Amino acid sequence: MAETKLINIVAIVVVAIIFLGVGYYLYPLLNPSTIGPAPPQEKSIWEEIVSRGKIVVATSPDWPPFEYLDPKTNQLIGYEIDLFNAVAKKLGLQVEWKQMSFDSIIAAVKNREVDLGVSGFSVTPERYQEVLFTMPHIVTQVQLIMLKSRADELGITKLNSLDEIAQYGLIVGTGSGTTQEDELLGLVNKGVLSSGQVKSYPDFDTALEELKNGNIDALYAETPITTWWISTETVPMVVVYSRSYWPVAFVAHKDANELVIKINSALAELFASGEIDQIRAKWNVSSGL
C-alpha cells in the first residue's frame, strides 16, 4: 500500500514538471504581449547626432582667445571655436553653438541637453567622475596676475606659492566653477586663506573689470587668457605667480564613447596634417604639449 502511494506521488511530480516545462516554452506563444517585433533599442549619442546631421555644443564665450564674442560682429570666435569647427567638418557635421555660463556646461552635458562642452575644460580626476574627455589639444599654465601699480605698491614681484596670498592679505578673484576656484577654496578650507579673500564671478569678463576697478587685488586664471589680457588691455598688468597646469580637452557624456572616439580620430588627423598649428598661429596660442 505504501509502495503504491509512493508511486502515485512520483507520478504527480513528474507530470507537474512536464507541465511546467511545456508552459515555459508555450508562454511566449500564448501571451499576446510577447507577440510581434522586439522594441527598438535606444540610439547611441553618436547615432542621434548623425541622424540629425548636427552636433549641439555648449561654450562660455568669456575666455579669449579660446572662445569669445567678436566686439564688432558679436559673432562667436576663437581658437577652440575654429578647432572644433575643423573637427566637425571632418566628421561631416554642422555645429550648433549654445552659449551658457561655464559652471552650467557639465550639468548640461550630463543631462544630455547638449552633446559636447567646448570651453577650455581642464582634465581633472574630479571631472573624470562626471564626464568623458576627448584627447587633450593643449596644456596651459595657471597664473596669478595683478595691476602693475598695485603690485608695485605692495612690493610684490614674485610669489613662490599661493600660500603667500595670505602674507600680503590679497583679495583674489576667479571664475565660478573653475579649477582655479577649487584650488583657492581648498586653501580657505585649510585655513590658509580667509573666505573673504576669495571672490568668485560668473564669468572672467566681470572678474577682469573688478581687477581693473581695484575691487580685488589679483586675478587667478590660466593661459592663454592671462597673456591675452596682458597684451590687449591698456592698463599694465604683471604675472606674480605661475606654474604648469592641467591639459585641456572637450567634455562629453559618460555614455558617449563612440562620439569621443570619432572626435579623437579627427583631432589626430588635425595634429598630423599640421592644421592645428595653423589654427594656433592664427590665435597666437602655444601648444604646451
What is the C-alpha to C-alpha distance for residues 176 and 178, in angstroms, rounded to an integer?
A: 6
| 266 and 176 inside one domain | no
Mean pLDDT of 127-150: 97
Task: Indicate the pLDDT class of residue 29, thresholds 50, 70 and 90.
Answer: very low
Q: How far is CA 164 from CA 158, 161, 276, in A?
A: 10, 6, 38
Percent of the chain, pLDDT > 70? 85
CATH code, domain carrying 154: 3.40.190.10
| 122 and 145 inside one domain | no
In this model, does residue 54 exceed pLDDT 90?
yes
Instruction: Specify the DSSP element, H or E, that contains 194.
Output: none
| 236 and 255 inside one domain | no
Residue 40 covered by a domain: no
Residue 14 covered by a domain: no
Mean pLDDT of 35-44: 65
Residue 79 covered by a domain: yes
In this model, does residue 21 exceed pLDDT 80?
no
What is the C-alpha to C-alpha distance for residues 273 and 266, in angstroms, rounded to an integer?
A: 11
Residue 87 covered by a domain: yes
Number of structural domains found in the chain: 2
Average predicted confidence (pLDDT) for the chain: 89
- Can you give the pLDDT at residue 185? 97
C-alpha cell at 104: 552650467
Decide if 104 contacts 251 (C-beta within 8 A).
no
| 144 and 224 inside one domain | yes
- Can you give the pLDDT at residue 156? 98
Residue 206 covered by a domain: yes
Exposed/middle/buried for residue 78 (C-beta within 10 Å: 0-12, 13-18, 19+): buried
| 252 and 129 inside one domain | yes
| 187 and 155 inside one domain | yes
Residue 171 covered by a domain: yes
- Can you give the pLDDT at residue 286? 83
Residue 35 covered by a domain: no
Tell me the whole-structure pTM to 2 decimals.
0.81
Calculated CA dihedral for residues 85, 89, 92, 96, nearest 10 degrees = 20
- Can you give the pLDDT at residue 5? 46
| 203 and 228 inside one domain | yes
| 62 and 182 inside one domain | no
| 89 and 215 inside one domain | no
Mean pLDDT of 7-24: 44
C-alpha cell at 5: 502511494
| 242 and 272 inside one domain | no
In this model, does residue 49 exceed pLDDT 60?
yes
**137, amino acid identity:** H
Domain span at residue 128 reads 45-139+247-283
Residue 94 covered by a domain: yes
> For the segment 181-226, what is each residue's pLDDT rounded down to a tens digit?
999 999 999 999 999 999 999 999 999 999 999 999 999 999 999 9
